[in-house]
Structure 1
Amino acid sequence: MNGSGESSAEQLLSRPGVQRFPSSRLDLFTARGFLSPAQCSALIELIETNHRPSTIADYNGDDAFRTSSTCDLPQEHAVVAQVVAALSSLSGIDPAHAEPLQGQRYEVGQEFKAHTDYFEPASHDFDRYCAVPGQRTWTFMIYLNEVEAGGATRFKVIDKLVQPETGKLIGWNNRKPDGNPNPSTLHHAMPVRRGRKYVITQWYRERPWG
């Protein structure tokens, strides 16, 4: 287990089924069937019980920028604990570096426009949200269902489109090899056109979340 909040391509690719997207612009990985359908169903039920309108840390004046709902998943729930442990085992990162696991819910027409997950250095939000745990290092997101239409995740810089699939994981390093934030991680949760979309997201930090 890594105590520094850091993973690596070698660590991730040591797990059967993990694939790396061929790009020199960012480290991006996928794995089908990371969670079982039963686990995904249980997480969807949790999200349905306690979701609220999503927010963004650095409001940009666009009220339609992020229109999904968010749910803080209870750490004491068995399936949540299973996911946290599974992601820690995959990444090699100590769960002390993990933010609380979150679920997201998208209705028809809802989206999260192109954004990055890291906090802009020297910004007010960086000072506010990164003073104790530091910058976000890795992001891991898992689709909980297959959307009837729409809802893909598009990495705009590399023009990579990832389609929702029950239990599929995508993960990426939010930094460049020199440690600076990587703008090539820009991604867009595209609008759902039919049905509903559920995902969960785990962000890791440089230092323990504490």
Structure 2
Amino acid sequence: MAERLAGTPGVQKVPSASLDLFIVRDFLPPELCDAIIERIDSQRRPSTIADDSGIANFRTSETCDLDSGDAVVADVDCRIVGLLGLDPALGEPIQGQRYAVGQEFRAHTDTFNPGSYDYYVHTAAGGQRTWTAMLYLNDPEDGGATRFKTIGKTVHPERGKLLAWNNLLADGAPNPATLHHGMKVRKGVKFIITKWFRERPLV
């Protein structure tokens, strides 16, 4: 996967020995970004987290489970799967997030913590999360960057820009270098979508 992305025109690999992280600018056209934003805005609900750390206000965004039967959502899904080259059966449904002023998702990883209750619940069918694709749908007026603290990389939101990273080490264990923080929006609103992939089909 990493070699495939590194050899794809328009894909930038972030220099890091500890994390396979890629950036694709203008991956999604503005009209599709706007269409997904409309869907998120009309169906959003308070976000939740697995492996709850007990920290208040750890994740304060709103979430939308996008309908895979919607032609617009299916188009976006197909584009992401096509870029990564993974079996569509390994993908979770696309999820949308909305961040208003002051909202954030504190530093976390997308994998399930081995040995935890949520690990056994959420990995029983499809296994661990392997790759993450995250896409910015708009340009907030200020704030809302994604900070990969371990590797010292901050990515600023730009409409249509996609990030993709490998959540696992070579031995299949979660990679701690994927720790990332959806930083607070200081002005405006931030919309993103996220698609995760698993080790095995979820069906």
Q: TM-score range by the shorter chain?
A: over 0.9
CA RMSD in angstroms comes to 0.8
1:164 maps to 157
1:142 aligns with 2:142: no
Deviant stretches of 4+, over 6 Å? none
Q: In the alignment, does 2:201 pair up with 1:197?
A: no
Report if the CA contact (8 A) 2:66-2:96 is conserved.
yes
SS of residue matched to 2:196: strand
> Share of identical aligned residues, percent?
59
| Deviating more after overlay: 176-185 vs 189-198 | 176-185
The 1-side partners of 2:54 and 2:122 are apart by: 20
Q: Which moved more, 1:116-125 or 1:105-114?
A: 116-125
Which residue pairs with 2:175 in the alignment?
182
In structure 2, which of residues 95, 101, 107 is the aligned counterpart of residue 102 of structure 1?
A: 95
Aligned length: 203
User: Cα deviation per residue 1:27-72 (whole Å; 9 max; x = unaligned)?
Assistant: 0000001000000000000001100000011112122000000000
Q: TM-score, normalised by structure 1?
A: 0.95
Unaligned ranges ≥5, structure 2: none
SS at match of 2:72: helix
Contact 1:107 1:196 in 2 (8 A): yes
2:171, 2:120 → 1: CA distance? 21
Aligned to 1:65: 58
1:112-127 equivalent positions in 2, closer than 5 A: 112-127=105-120
- Where do 1:6-155 residues align within 5 Å? 8-155=1-148
Deviations along 1:64-119, one digit per CA (max 9) or x if unpaired, are 00000000001111111011111111111111111111000000000000000000
With normalisation by structure 2, the TM-score equals 0.98
Partners of 2:104 and 2:183 within 8 A in 1:
yes
Whether the 8 Å contact between 1:11 and 1:90 is mirrored in structure 2 is: no
CA drift at 1:126: 0.7
Note the residue ranges of structure 1 that are not aligned, 5 or more in a row.
1-7
Q: Which amino acid aligns with 1:163?
A: H
Please say if residues 51 and 116 of structure 2, whose CA atoms lie closer than 8 Å, have aligned partners that are also in contact.
Answer: no
Task: Choose 64-73 or 11-20, whichever is displaced more.
Answer: 11-20
